[in-house]
A and B are shown apart, each in its own frame.
Chain A
Amino acid sequence: MPKKVLDARNITVTYKTEKGPLDTVRDVSLKICSGEIYGLVGESGSGKSTLARAIVRYLPENGYLKSGELELGDTNLLSLTKAEMRRVWGGRITMVHQDPNAAINPSVMIGEQIAEVVRTHLHLSKQEAKDKALEMLTKVRMADPEEVARRYAHQLSGGMLQRVLIAIAMATNPELLILDEPTTALDVTTEAVILDLIGDLMREYDTAVLYITHNLGVVARVCNRVGVLYAGEIMEEGSIGQVFKNKLHPYTRGLLGCVPRVDVNKKDISLKAIPGFIPRPDQLPPGCVFAPRCELVEEACREARPALKDIENGHLTACRRYEALKGYGDVIADTREAHEEAGYGELVLEARNIKKYFPVPGGMALFSKSKKQEVKAVDDISVRMRHSFTMGIVGESGCGKTTFARCIMGLEEATSGEIELEGELLPYSVAKRTRDTLRKMQMVFQNPDASLNPQHPAGEAVARPLVLLRNLNKNAVQERVKELFEAVNLPEDYIYRLPHELSGGEKQRVAIARAFAADPTLMICDEPISSLDVSVQAALMNLLVDLQESKGTSYLFISHDLAAVRHLSDWIAVVYLGRLWEIGSAEDVFVPPYHPYTEALLSALPIPDLDVKQESIRLKGSVPSAMNIPSGCRFHTRCPRKIGEICEKEEPPWQDTGYYHQICCHIPAAELQALQGEGLLKKGEGRAAQ
C-alpha cells in the first residue's frame, strides 16, 4: 500500500516586484505517494519551477509562500525553522536540476560531493561515506566508479554529470525526489539512457518523485501521474492513461496538438498551434486563465474561475466544458487537403564533399612539438537540394550540422569541397560572394536573443536587406517592411519596437521576415525553434510551411529534434561526427532498414502517445572528440549493432536501399531489414496496452 509522501494543499506563491505583489502560482494542490512518479508539465512561465522551489521552501528573496499547507509524511514543513529545513534538504527531500554542468562544484572532486551528503545526513564516517559514494556511482551505472570519484566536473560529459547528480540525490534514500527538467540540457540519446536509469532506480527505491518537464513525451515515458500546469494553475490532473487518452482540458489537447508526429508530415497535417500567449501574472483574465486562448470558450468561462473537478477516479480537470470535449473527437491536428506532389524542380544547391577542420586553439609552435591537432567538425558531407524543397539535417549537438550550414553560407570558410548555387560555383567566404548570391541565400539563426541588434528597432533588421539587396527606395522599403511583418503575423507597430520588448517567438518571426526580405531561393534554418515553447514552435513551423508554399523557397532545416525534422522535411540527412550516415526521403528514413544510429535516435525520441511502442535501443558511452575520430566506422565505439573487427578497421560502404535512400554501414541492407523488422514505432503496443 503506497503511503502519501508529499501533501501540498492550496499553495499560492507570491513574488514582490516593482509592480507590486504577483501570485505566480495560485491555489495548487499536489499529492504524491511513495513509489509514484508525478509529472508536472508546463511551458515556460507556467510556474512549475517556482512550485518546486516553494515545496522545498527555497524561494528567491523576493518570493514567499502566501498561503497553503505543506506536509512531508507527518511533518508540517511550514512549521520548520531554517536550520530544521536544512536537515530535510538532502536527507528527506533531494533535488536534481536542469543543467548538470552548472550544478556540480567545479573545484571539488566528484566522490567528495557524494560523500559529504551521506556524512551530513547519515552520519557516516569518512571511510564509510567514501564506500557509499562508490556504491552510488555503481548504482547509476558508472563504468569505473573509483576513477570517476577522483575526477572533477570538467572531466565528465553532461550525461555522466547528470548520473552523478542522481547518485547524490539518491544517496540518502530520500522520501521525495524532485527532478527539475533533468534531461532538457542533454542530447536525445543521452536523455533516453537517463530516463531508463530513473525508471529502473525508482523500481528499486520507493521514493516519491516529482518530475518537472515541458516535454510531454518524457512524461509519457516515465511518469505514473501527470499534472498540467498553465499560468500558475493546474488545468488537468490524472494518471497518464486518463490524461493522454481522454484529454479533458483544451490546453492539454492544445499542447499535444503542437507536437509534431513521426508518422506523418506537413503534407498530411498542419500543426494545431494554440493562439495567443500565456498571460503575464499581472494581467490575468478574471475567469478561466485559459479562456482567452480557448476554442470552446463560453461567456461563463470568462466570468468565474472554474475549480478543479474530479471526473472519475482521480482524473481532475479545470474545464467547465469537459463534457463537450468528450464529443470533440480525438482530432488534435488539422488534416490538410491532399498535397500535390511537386515533382522535381531545378537543382538549387549542390554541396560536394564539404570539409571543415579547425586548428586546436592555444597552440604556440614554440613550445608544442607534437604535430598540429585539428578538430574535424565537418568531414566530407555532400547534399543536393531542389526548388521548393526541404532538406532536414538531423544530428546531436557537436555533430557538425551547424558548422556545415555556416560553411554553406560562407560564415565559416570551408577547408575543402565545392558549393554550387543554381549551377554557379561559390567562393568559400561570404565576403567574396556577389550581391546576387547573397540575395539568394539567407539564414535564420538559433538564438532569438542574439539574432537581432538590441539597439535597433525590429523594422531596421528587415529594412536593411531591402535597401542593400533589392535596391528599393525609401517608400518602397517602408511598404515592403509592412508587408513582411504582416506575412509573419506581427502587428505593424512591432516595426518600431526594440528587441527587448519582444518575446522569443516574436524575435524569431522578425528574423524570418528579415531572411525573406531578400526574397531568397535558399534559406538555411539553424535550429530556429529549439529554444522556444512547444506551442510557439508549432506556430513557427506552420509559418515556415506557409511561406514555402507561397514563395517556393527551399529550406535547409537543421535540428536535433527528430519530430520537427520529420514534420518539415521532404528529405532527411542523418549526421554523426561530421559525416552523413543515412540520407533519403523522410518516409524512407523513418522506416527500416535504417542505419543503427538513426535507429537509436528514433528509439530514444520521447513520443507523447501511449499507443506507440518503442524498442529500447541505447547508445553506449558518449560522443568521441572530433579531434580523435575513431578508426574504421566512426560510429563503432557506440554502435549497438556492431558486427566485429571490420567496423573498427574499414570505413563502411554506401548502400542503396530504395529510391535514392542510402545507408552507410557494413551490415548489408537486407540484414538490417531483417534485424529491425517492422520498425520501432508500433501502434497499439505501447504503455497503454500494458
Chain B
Amino acid sequence: MTYFLLRRIGFILITLILASIIIFSITQLLPGDVARVILGQFATERAIENLREELGLNRPLHVQYLHWAGGFVRGDWGNSLISRTPVRPIVMQRLGNSAMLAGLALLIYVPLGIILGVIAALKKDKLPDQLITGVSMAFVGLPEFVTGLLLITFLAIGLEWFPANSSINPDSTFRQAFPYLILPAITVSLTGLGYIARMTRSGTIDVLKTDYIRAADLKGLPASQVLFKHVLRNSLLPTVTVVAMGIGWLLGGLIVTEAVYGYPGLGRLIVYSIQRQDLPLLQACSMIIVAIYSISNLAADITYGLLNPRIRVGN
C-alpha cells in the first residue's frame, strides 16, 4: 500500500511538471509581442523594450519557465497584464466561487447517477433501463450551453422559478449565491449524471453476472443483503475512479456553464483572460485547474486502494 501510494504520488508530480511545461510553452506560442499587446499599437520601441526587460521576456525560454514555475510554487503567480495587480487573489476568489458551483453539482449528480445506474442494471434491457440509458446518452453528448439555454428558457423565463442570470458579486457567500447556483449546477450536472449512470450501470451489470453473486443468491441471503453487501460493494468500487475522471469534464463544463449564466467563477475568468490576452492570468488559471484535476485523480486512486482489499492487504 505504501509503495502503491508513493508510486501514484510520483506519477502525479511528474505529470504536473510536464503539464506545466505544456501550458507554459503553448502560451508562449502566442503570435505577436506580449509587450506590444499590453502597451498597444502606438507605444514607442523604447517603452516596449523597457517592458520586455521588466517582464523578463528577453531571457531564454527555459529560464523564463523556471522563473515562472518557481514563482508559482512559492505562491507568486505574477501580475495581471490588464489590471497590473497580483493574479493570485483574483484566481483564489474565483476558484472559491467555482468550487461552490462544482460542489453543489457533485452533490446532485454523483448520488443520482449511481442510483439511476444501479436501477438500469437491475432492470437490464427492460423499459426503465432503456429510458435511463437513452436519456443519459443524450445528456452526455449535449453541450452545456444547449442544456443551459433550454433550462433558462423553461425554468427561468417560462416558469420564473430561478434567476436567468447568475452574474452575482464575486464576493458573495454561499448563502447569498445559492439561489443563483441552482440552475448552473443542474446544467453542469446533466453531463456528469449521464456519464456516472452509464458507468455505474455497466459496472453493476458486470458484477451481477459473476459467480459470486449467483453463489450469494443461492446462499438464500435476503435480496437486499445480496444487493448492498455483495453487488454494490464490488460494483461501486470503480465508480470512485469514474467520478474522478469525470472531474475533467466537470471543469470543462464549468467554463461553458459560467459563460452561459455569467457566473463569476474560474471558467469565466479563463474566457476573460483569453479575450484580453492576459497571459499570467491564463497560465495561473490553467495550472490551478490541472492541479485540481490531478489531485482529484490521486484522491480517487487512494480511496480505491483503501476500499479494495486486493490493494489494501496485498498478497
Contacts and interface: CB of A to CB of B under 8 A. Distances in A.
B218 A94 contact: yes
Given A364-B7, A366-B10, A116 B221 contact: yes
B216 interface: yes
Given A105-B234, A106-B310, A121 B211 contact: no
Interface string B206-245: 0000111011111111110100011001100100000000
B42 interface: no
Contacts of A90: 218-221
Contact of B229 (A94, A108, A168, A368): A108
Contacts of B210: 102
B169 interface: no
A103 B313 contact: no
Interface residues of A, number: 32
Most buried by A among B212, B307, B308: B212
B5 to A, nearest CB: 10
B89 interface: no
Interface string A100-122: 00111111100000001100110
Contacts of B218: 56, 58, 89-90, 94-95
Given A89-B218, A91-B220, A108-B230, A154 B7 contact: no
A88 interface: yes
B214 A97 contact: yes
Contact of B313 (A88, A89, A95, A155): A155
Contacts of A344: none
A154 B218 CA distance: 22
Contacts of B234: 105-107
Nearest to B310: A154
A367 interface: yes
Contact of A99 (B211, B221, B229, B309): B211
B315 interface: yes
Nearest to B231: A105
A58 B217 contact: yes
A86 interface: yes
A87 interface: yes
Contact of B212 (A102, A117, A154): A102
Contacts of B215: 95, 97, 103-105, 165
Nearest to B229: A108
Given A106-B234, A155-B315, A120 B212 contact: no
B30 interface: no
Contact of A89 (B3, B219, B309): B219
A424 to B, nearest CB: 43
Interface in B148-195: none
Interface of B is mostly: helix
Chain B interface size range:
20 to 34
A290 B103 CA distance: 68
Contacts of B313: 152, 155
Nearest to A89: B220
B229 A120 contact: no
B225 A89 contact: no
Contacts of B310: 106, 152, 154
B26 interface: no
A598 B278 CA distance: 79
Given A367-B3, A368-B3, A104 B220 contact: no
Interface string B1-36: 001001100100000000000000000000000000
B211 A152 contact: no
Contacts of B211: 97, 99, 102-103
Contacts of B220: 86-91, 117, 120-121
Nearest to A58: B218
Contacts of B223: 86
A117 B221 CA distance: 7
B228 to A, nearest CB: 12
B222 A106 contact: no
Interface string A338-379: 000000000000000000000000001011100000000000
Nearest to B226: A86
Contacts of B219: 89-90, 94, 116-117, 120, 168
A117 B219 CA distance: 6
Interface in A153-174: 154-155, 165, 168
Contacts of A117: 219-221
B214 to A, nearest CB: 7
B233 to A, nearest CB: 5
B203 to A, nearest CB: 13
Interface string B96-124: 00000000000000000000000000000
A116 B225 CA distance: 10
A56 B309 CA distance: 32
A120 B217 contact: no
A154 B315 contact: yes
A88 B219 CA distance: 9
Contacts of A95: 215, 218
A154 B216 contact: no
Contacts of B221: 86, 90, 116-117, 120
Contacts of B309: 106-107, 152, 154
A87 B315 CA distance: 36
A508 to B, nearest CB: 27
Contacts of A366: 10
B307 to A, nearest CB: 8
Interface string B301-315: 000000111100101
B3 to A, nearest CB: 6
Nearest to A119: B221
Contacts of A116: 219, 221, 225, 229
A165 to B, nearest CB: 8
A296 to B, nearest CB: 41
A368 B6 CA distance: 10
A364 B219 CA distance: 43
Nearest to B237: A107
B186 to A, nearest CB: 34
Nearest to B216: A105
Interface in A46-87: 56, 58, 86-87
A168 B220 CA distance: 12
Nearest to A625: B315
A116 B230 CA distance: 11
Contacts of A88: 220
A86 B233 CA distance: 21
Nearest to A97: B211
A510 to B, nearest CB: 31
B212 A105 contact: yes
Highest count of chain B CB atoms <10 Å: which of A86, A88, A99, A368: A86
A104 B214 CA distance: 10
Nearest to B211: A102
Interface in A500-540: none
Contacts of B229: 108, 116
Interface string B266-310: 000000000000000000000000000000000000000001111
A106 B307 CA distance: 11
A108 B214 contact: no
Interface in A563-608: none
A168 B222 CA distance: 16
A182 to B, nearest CB: 12
B231 to A, nearest CB: 9
Contacts of A105: 212, 215-216, 230, 233-234
Interface centre among B220, B229, B308 (most CB of A within 10 A): B220
Given A107-B237, A120-B222, 4 more contacts: A58-B214, A88-B220, A120-B221, A367-B7
30 contacts: A56-B218, A58-B217, A86-B221, A86-B222, A88-B220, A89-B220, A90-B218, A90-B219, A94-B219, A95-B215, A95-B218, A97-B211, A102-B210, A103-B214, A104-B215, A105-B230, A105-B233, A106-B212, A107-B237, A108-B233, A116-B221, A116-B225, A117-B219, A117-B220, A120-B220, A152-B309, A165-B215, A168-B219, A367-B6, A367-B10
6 tightest A-B contacts by CB? A90-B220, A89-B220, A90-B219, A102-B211, A152-B309, A103-B211
